Amino acid sequence: MGVTEDLWLIAQNLDAAYEELTAHIEHMSATSTAMEMDDLADLVVVLDALKKNGDDIRKRLNKANDTAKEVLCNLLFDNEVLPYRNDDATLSPSARGFFSVQDPNELLGWLRLSDEVEDPLARFLELASKKKPLQKLCEEALEAGQPLPPGIRGHVTRTITVRRKGK
């Protein structure tokens, strides 16, 4: 049995245990006496410990999920498989670039040398203070196969969207 099947089995067992526990607690609340206070107190202590452990497990599962998504996203991009479909879901990778002014002097110098810019200082202030013009400038350069302008730092974030199929 593979890791995926093991995880599904664990999820099913947890669901069944939750249903059984809920029924037990409802039964106890309807029939409890002072004699069963110790049992209820023990149950509350155990459930509290499980909740704390569950929070840790949830964090670990989220981290594992993020790592698996990152690896899959990179594979999908590298192999130009957009989107990927299996029996249970459609997985759509996407990438988004973020740009910022890293060296203002380099950017201003480049703008001053550009024949396309009438007022280099005004254009610099626009690029340095507003995200959309900077984003547009960088995307246009990259789409044209040009490097980013000097003084600009770029960062690409890749994500993957999972759309589960209804069954």
Is-contact 82 160, C-beta < 8 A?
no
More confidently predicted of 166 and 70: 70
The answer to which of 13-17, 80-84, 138-142 has the lowest mean pLDDT is: 13-17
Between residues 2 and 144, which one has the greater pLDDT? 144
Tokens 């890791």, residue? 3
- Report pLDDT for 29: 74
- Torsion sign across C-alpha atoms 83, 84, 85, 91: negative
pLDDT confidence of 105, banded at 50, 70, 90?
A: very high
Instruction: Determine if residue 156 is left, alpha or beta; phi over 0 gives left, psi from -120 to 50 gives alpha, anything else beta.
Output: beta
pLDDT of 28 reads 74
Please, is 83 exposed, middle or buried when counting C-beta atoms within 10 Å of its C-beta (0-12, 13-18, 19+)? middle
Q: Which range, of 19-23, 99-103, 141-145, averages the lowest pLDDT?
A: 19-23
CB of 66 closer than 8 Å to CB of 160 = no
Bond before 83 cis per omega within 30 degrees: yes
**Selection from 127, 131, 80, 77 nearest residue 106 by Cα:** 127
| Angstrom distance (rounded) from CA 98 to CA 155 | 5
Percent of the chain clearing pLDDT 70 (strictly above): 97
pLDDT band at 152; cut points 50, 70, 90: very high
What does the pLDDT look like over 22-63, one tens digit per residue?
887 787 777 767 657 777 788 888 888 888 888 888 899 899
- What is the per-residue pLDDT for 167? 62
The Cα angle at residue 64 between residues 69 and 60, in degrees rounded to 5: 150
Per-residue pLDDT band for 104 (boundaries 50, 70, 90) equals very high
* Average pLDDT of the residues in 90-96: 89
Percent of the chain with pLDDT over 90: 28
